[in-house]
Amino acid sequence: EAQVTQNPRYLITVTGKKLTVTCSQNMNHEYMSWYRQDPGLGLRQIYYSMNVEVTDKGDVPEGYKVSRKEKRNFPLILESPSPNQTSLYFCASSLSQGAGTEAFFGQGTRLTVV
Amino acid sequence: GQNIDQPTEMTATEGAIVQINCTYQTSGFNGLFWYQQHAGEAPTFLSYNVLDGLEEKGRFSSFLSRSKGYSYLLLKELQMKDSASYLCAFLNDYKLSFGAGTTVTVRA
């Protein structure tokens, strides 16, 4: 089954404790991205990757890191999480980012930083 | 800068038609998407417009006017399962920018 898998689905952590949210897709998609979703603000892009070893900042990259060492994986790293990073996070992939290719989203990771 | 606006909430009756408007401002434009998101779930793709005009897909249609920076999503023959949030998003190069979403509630 074609899908984007994120782990974990739920995470509660403490301020400053490094964490990684994994994202994997099995559709051989080139383009992957991370979003955070907050009430009243909608989905905001954190980072995106156009292919292996090619990443770039989205609209809200501060406090986050990503890597794209393999085509299928695009982990999101919070080196020192803070309470303002409490949010719902979505990973998405698409064949490319152009010509109307739809994005497939993972099921989301609800992160709480206390 | 970039900005995208859509109404926060809309309510309609089962079987009716609802139109969700979206206006955007952007320095570059490569297309406009609509996604549906049920509560607690991931967004799913509904439509894509890159040229002006109407795209029809079953009960859902999407319209784009690039000169006006305007799009709408038309939902016909509303069903209870259409109760969801509808997200408008424009593509600028490789970046996708979303509006805050419109929550549509369908009443029996």
Q: Given this model, what pLDDT does residue A100 score?
A: 67
Per-residue pLDDT tens for B16-42? Answer: 999 999 999 988 888 999 999 999 899
Determine the distance in angstroms separating the CA of B96 from the nearest CA of chain A, rounded to an integer.
7
Q: A43 and B50 in contact by Cβ < 8 A?
A: no
Per-residue pLDDT tens for B43-93? Answer: 999 999 999 999 999 999 999 999 999 999 999 999 999 999 999 999 888
Per-residue pLDDT tens for A87-108? Answer: 999 999 998 776 668 899 999 9
Beta-strand relationship, A10-13 and B44-49: unpaired
8 A C-beta contact, residue A88 and residue A41? no
Those residues of chain A whose CB sits closer than 8 Å to some CB in chain B are 31, 33, 35, 40-45, 48, 50, 56, 58-59, 90, 97-100, 102-108
Q: A48 and B48 in contact by Cβ < 8 A?
A: no
8 A C-beta contact, residue A46 and residue A36? yes
Q: A100 and B48 in contact by Cβ < 8 A?
A: yes
pLDDT-derived band at A16, boundaries 50, 70, 90: very high
A62, pLDDT greater than 70: yes
- In eight-state DSSP terms, residue A101 is P
User: Where are any strands of DSSP class E within B1-108?
Assistant: 3-5, 9-13, 18-25, 32-37, 44-49, 53-57, 60-65, 70-75, 84-92, 95-98, 102-107
The B residues from 35 to 74 touching A (CB cutoff 8 Å) are 35, 41-45, 48, 50
Q: A97 and B91 in contact by Cβ < 8 A?
A: yes
Q: A31 and B30 in contact by Cβ < 8 A?
A: no
CA-nearest of B102, B103, B87 to B32 is B87
Measured CA to CA, the distance from residue B42 to residue B32 in angstroms comes to 19
Mean pLDDT (whole number) for A2-13: 95
